Each structure stands twice: as C-alpha cells, then as structure tokens.
Amino acid sequence: MEKREELNRMIRYAQRLMKTKDDGILGDVTKVLIEKSIYKNPLINKQFNSLQKLIALIQFTALAKGIESGKIDGLIGSQTRFAFEQLIYLEKHSKLPPTWRAEDQVLGKTDSESNRHNPHGFPTYQNIENVYGEPASNLKTVQVPFELRLAWDKSVKVQKITCHKKVAPSLIGVLEDVLEHYGYDRLKELGIDLYGGCFNHRKMRGGKKLSTHSWGAAIDLHPELNQLRWNHKRALFAKKEYEFLLESFAAEGWVSLGVEKDYDWMHFQAVKL
C-alpha cells in the first residue's frame, strides 16, 4: 500500500508540473504530456517505459533545482525519494527545507558507549581524510559472499561492490557472518540482500557535508523499508529478526545510524560518531 501511495504522489506531482489534472493516474493524456516534456531532454532515456520516464522527469526537475537526485535512471531509490520530498516542500513553501539533521551528532561530537568499540581504528568524521584520504580515493572493488539484489531494480544482481580498501576486509567479514547465521534463503526472505549502495560521492541527505559514502566507508541495505526519516517504530531493521545483523556490524566497529540516532536504519558506516 505504501508503495502504491508513493507512486500516486509522484504521478500527481508530475501532473502538476505538466499543468494537467493531478488525479494520480498514469493515463493516456499524462503519457502524451510526459513524451512532450522529455522530447528534447538529452538526459532522459527515450527507451524508458512511461512510468520510468515520469520518474526520470522528477529526477531531472530536482537536478535542475539544485537538489541531488542521483542518476537519472527512472528508478525509485533512496536518493530519488529524498529529492522528491525536497521538491514537495519547495512546491509548498517556495524554498528548500532547512537542514534537518543535527550534523554535530553525525560528525563526531557524541561519545555513546557503543561507539567506543573500534577494533580497526575507524576514524571520526573530523579525522576521515587523515585516515581514508581524499573522497573517492583508495577504493577497491570486492566480491561479496552472497548475491545482492539492487534495491530499486531487483532484477539487477550485484556480485561485486566498491568500497574503501581499508574497510573492505571488515565489510566482507560482516557479510560472511550474516550469511553463515541466516543462510541465503532466510537473509533473502528478510531482505538483507537488498543493496542500496556503498561508494557514492554525494552530500548527506538532509545535510551539507559529504556523506561517508563519498569515501566508500558506508553501506545501505534494504532502503525501501528503512527510509531516512523512519524511526524504530517503522524501520524494518529495528525488529528482533535483525539483531544479529546489527550486532555483526557493531562487533566490527561499524556504526548503525538507526541504533545510534534512530533514523536512517538502512545505513552502516565505518566512521565513528
């Protein structure tokens, strides 16, 4: 139901962009208007189906308004969801929303008990370049111990991921432990194999600083049911079945923003708070 409502909101927004009736139905009139809207746009793939073209139009609109939307691929991933909410706020208030994250909490001004365990010497954000180097440097592509599915296009199988070379052994070790504990069928049933990305040079969603993904020092899993602003009452990873997953990352010194901050439960980072 949530996914259907999400699509309905996106269709209605695109219809308002195209100045037609916003009924949330991707009918013939809307499809014709989409084609007209993207006809001369070189960034939107004309081979997309109608829904993909509509999503791509929203992604392009966000990009044109200075909002990070990620790749214009016609797919609904976590970055597209974030960009869409920014657009809705902009439409309503004629300005972008203020930064909602308390960035001092993300960038190393807390000292929670669980964050002190640091067997691999992971840096805080303030010290990140001293340890990991420049963003997008010192990266390594590694084979994962079980096949992942791309979260926003489950037909795409992921067998290798790119991360920082200093976190690669630890990350692979976590995934190996998770596979041994759950078994492939069970972890797939739980959606732990739904991959939301690792290296991605971008800013924090809802913040102004670079994301830890920019160093390949973070991984997102099952983003659709662990959305950025969801707390433990909604996020899937807050449920008991996922305790071993959270404990496995914690044992290696990785930080779960869900556990630490009760938002962004999809996100695990090899950067201390």
Host domain of residue 126 = 103-269
**Could you tell me which residues are beta bridge partners of residue 162?**
141
Q: In the block, which residue shows the tokens 């909490």?
A: 105
Same domain? 116 vs 73:
no
Distance between CA atoms of residues 124 and 270, nearest Å: 9
Q: What is the pLDDT of residue 101?
A: 59
- Whether residue 98 lies inside any domain: the answer is no
The contacts of residue 154 (CB under 8 Å, 6+ apart) are: 194
Tokens 């969603």, residue located: 205
Q: Do 269 and 249 form a contact (C-beta atoms < 8 A)?
A: no
Tell me what pLDDT residue 83 has.
92
In order of 7, 14, 41, 73, 80, the CA distances from 47 in angstroms are: 20, 19, 13, 11, 20
**Domain endpoint, select from 93, 111, 146:** 93
Domain count, the chain: 2
- CATH number, domain with residue 183: 3.30.1380
Beta-carbon neighbour count of residue 67 at 10 Å?
Answer: 19
pLDDT for 114 equals: 47
* 89 and 109, same domain (yes or no): no
Per-residue pLDDT of the chain (273 residues; tens, 9 = 90+): 578 899 999 999 999 999 999 999 999 999 999 999 999 999 999 999 999 999 999 999 999 998 888 889 999 988 899 999 999 999 999 998 887 655 444 555 444 444 678 999 999 999 999 999 999 999 999 999 999 999 999 999 999 999 999 999 999 999 999 999 999 999 999 999 999 999 999 988 877 889 999 999 999 999 999 999 999 999 999 999 999 999 999 999 999 999 999 999 999 999 998
> Which pLDDT score is estimated for 104?
47
What is the structure's pLDDT at 207?
Answer: 78
Given this model, what pLDDT does residue 197 score? 96
CA geometry: angle 198, 200, 203, nearest 5 deg: 120
pLDDT of residue 1: 55
Shared-domain flag, residues 262 and 127: yes
Distance CA 229, CA 231 (A): 6
